[in-house]
Structure 1
Amino acid sequence: MSAEGPPPSKVKKVDVSADPEDGRDYDVETQMALEEIDGCQNEIDALNEKASEEILKVEQKYNKLRKPFFEKRSNIIKKIPNFWVTAFVNHPQVSALLDEEEEECLHHMTQLEVEEFDDIKSGYRIKFHFSSNPYFSNTVLQKEFHLGSSDPKSESTKIDWKDKMNLAQNAKSRIEKFKQGRKRGLETKSFFLWFEDHEDPSQDDIAEVIKDDMWPNPLQYFLVPDIEVENGVEEEEDEDVAESVVVVEEEDEIEGEDEEGEDDEEGLEEEEDDGDDEDAAGEDE
């Protein structure tokens, strides 16, 4: 490049001074090193982007491979009464949303489905399947998340509530009564209010829990009560063993005391016999 040509491009000046108002220029050697680092970083970023594309392809491949197993699992789950409501109630985060009415409603839930879009980064949908119930006429309630754009959004099925059975409205009324002095996080604890909430789809913790934790392995949450029962039985057995040991020890002590008492009585009898013999000898003399 000729001396009369444009000056070489420089990276953005990096502020290394303690004072943020004090900018610094670098000597030629440092500037060249920084430009080389910037070039390396561009190569790394390009590889990271390529890796993301490859990972996406792998995820898409295995999503297709997992799908028939999820379908098989769903068909088996249908044979177990109240499977999903049990799993929901046992999940620490999901159960925090449920009031008594909503838990009762979820007894009519027959199936859960999570479907990721072909472009996984762009979003997913959650489907809740219901049998005929006294709360609403829908057979499927769906909440869908579109996260691929700079303006993420979500949308959900309009629930056709039956007369006087609107659980979302009931939850709102209940929350209004206790709203004063409470933080917002405590005000929205309702499953159906969550279902209808579209304020911040990119930060929907409950949806992510259902997608990434509940859906991959719901069995672990369904089995929680059985595990607790087994532990309870073991603890009761241990307590019974401990009590029996105490009883045995007490019985041993009582037997020991009885034996000592018998020995004392035998000693007294012997002493009395000796005394009688001495008295008899005195009379003879």
Structure 2
Amino acid sequence: MSVTAEEIMATYEDLAKLEAEFDNVETETIRYQYKISKDLYVKRAEVIAKINDFWPLVFEQAPMDIDEHIQPADSAVLLGAIKDFKVERFEIDNPVEGGDPRSVSFRFEFNENDHFEDKVLEKKFWWRHGKDGSIGYCSEPVEIKWKEGKDLTNGLLSLAKAAFDEQKAAPKKEGKEKKELGKAAAALKKKMEDHEGEVSFFAWFGFVGDYVTAEENAEVVAKKKTGVEFPLEDAEMADGGDDEDDEDWEDEEDLEIFPVGDDVAMALADDLWPNALKYFTHAQEEEGLSDVEYESGDEEEEEDGEGAAAKPKQKKHKKACAHGCEH
């Protein structure tokens, strides 16, 4: 039995509606969870404010999705100077048109350190819908005021911010119109090609993603609520696109200095933040076990009469601790 094109399209529309219903359930679940737990987070903040090195110890125990991006030089700053950390779903209490409870902000508060002047670094991730059918996080680069010769991103973050501002200020080009790289974007691309070694965690502040403006998001959300879908050509679902235009978009994607920035954001918001007490407890337990092993080792050496120096305590990560040492 053959199926007509009209029947196939009708089925796709049913799937799209079903997907929208699942999305609404997820949205309301996040909203409800935030509502019933926000007072607990206030209490938690009051308690941990009395604990020295709470957040350095939590970040020292960070899950792999975060930890793998923290380089030794980052660790010396992140764990040695971080004073407070806060995550907020800023579009829940102050919703904007088309706002979403999945939009999240990250606020890092630092003590004086050798690398940058900022006392607070804050980055927002907006959950937005694009006319091309994309749904997900986008952000804007956050500049860091690095001290002379102390830029851990080797200039990538500053150029990412300049390239973003340059692109935002440029006249918008539609369709297959040529998208040429500006001066800052070209400099960023060359810098990325010349960059050697691992990328600093602080490059995460330069993540942009598939950027969608608030106006475009509001337009798409409003149309979806009324059941109106964007034309197929706007959603870029049809095959046979222009190869040259695709190459232009690839050039823009190549300018992402921290491609997995949204994944790290989700790990921070959905894992490290809600489970901070668990990670702090693990850090305390590891410290206790290390002390026992250290003392046990001393006793054995004394009994053997060797007099050799005790081995250093082994920690979870081979990186700088909150006090600037490496382990």
TM-score category by the smaller chain? 0.5 to 0.7
Q: Residues 62 and 90 of structure 1: is their aligned pair in 2 closer, same or farther, counting only changes over 3 Å?
A: closer
Q: Secondary structure at the match of 1:134?
A: coil
CA shift at 1:200, angstroms? 8.1
Tell me: CA distance 1:139–1:237, structure 2 relative to 1, closer, same or farther (3 Å).
Answer: closer
Distance verdict in 2 for CA 1:111–1:122, change over 3 Å: same
**Cα separation, 1, equivalents of 2:271 and 2:32:** 20
Residues 139/156 of structure 1: CA separation in 2 closer, same or farther (3 Å cut): farther
After TM superposition, list the pairs within 5 Å mapping 1:1-285 onto structure 2.
11-12=4-5, 46=17, 49-93=20-64, 94-106=66-78, 107-116=80-89, 117-118=91-92, 119-120=99-100, 123-150=103-130, 153-169=138-154, 187-198=197-208, 199=256, 203-204=260-261, 205-229=263-287
By how many angstroms is 1:162 displaced? Answer: 2.4
Offset at residue 217 of structure 1 (A): 0.8
Deviation track 1:60-101 (CA, whole Å, cap 9, x = no partner) reads 133133222222212322222222122212224233333343
Alpha-carbon offset, residue 202 of structure 1:
8.2
1:43/1:195 CA distance change after superposition, 3 Å: closer
TM-score (structure 1 length as normaliser): 0.55
TM-score w.r.t. the length of structure 2 is: 0.48
Larger Rg: 1
Displacement of 1:158 in angstroms is 1.4
Secondary structure of 1:84 counterpart: helix
Q: 1:161 to 1:41 in 2, by over 3 A?
A: closer
CA distance in 1, matches of 2:290, 2:118: 40
C-alpha distance in 1, partners of 2:144/2:108? 12
Query: Structure 2, unaligned stretches of length 5 or more?
Result: 93-98, 158-193, 209-255, 298-327
**C-alpha distance in structure 2 between counterparts of 1:63 and 1:201, whole Å:** 28
Per the TM alignment, residue 165 of structure 1 is displaced from its structure 2 partner at its CA by 2.8
Q: What's the CA shift for 1:139?
A: 2.1
Any conservation in 1 of the 2:27–2:102 contact (CA below 8 Å)? no
Identity %, equivalent residues: 26
Displacement, 1:193?
2.0
Unmatched segments (≥5 aa) in structure 1: 1-9, 14-34, 173-183, 240-285
Q: Equivalent residue of 1:76, what SS?
A: helix
Q: CA deviation at 1:45?
A: 5.7
Judge conservation of contact 2:62–2:279 (CA < 8 Å) in 1: yes
Whichever structure has more helix as a proportion of its residues is 1
The answer on whether the counterparts of 1:147 and 1:202 sit within 8 Å (CA) in structure 2 is no
1:124–1:146 Cα contact (<8 Å) kept: yes
Shift of 1:161: 1.8
Evaluate the alpha carbon distance shift between residue 100 and residue 44 of structure 1 in structure 2; reply closer, same or farther with a 3 A threshold. closer
The verdict on how the C-alpha distance between 1:59 and 1:91 changes in structure 2, with shifts beyond 3 A counting, is: closer
In the alignment, the residues of structure 2 paired with residue 71 and residue 60 of structure 1 have an alpha-carbon distance, to the nearest angstrom, of 17
Q: CA RMSD in A?
A: 4.1
Task: Tell me if structure 2 keeps the 8 A contact 1:142–1:156.
Answer: no
Q: Which letter does structure 2 place at the counterpart of 1:195?
A: F
The Cα shift of 1:213 comes to: 0.7
d(CA) in 2 for partners of 1:171, 1:148: 26
Matched residues in 1 for 2:11 and 2:75: separation? 56
**Which of 1 and 2 has higher RCO (CA within 8 Å, sep 6+)?**
2
Q: Secondary structure at the match of 2:4?
A: coil
Q: Residues 85-121 of structure 1: CA distance to partner in whole angstroms, max 9, x if unpaired?
A: 2221222423333334322222221211122233436
Cα deviation code 1:172-227 (max 9, x no counterpart): 9xxxxxxxxxxx9x944421122234328884322221111101111222222333
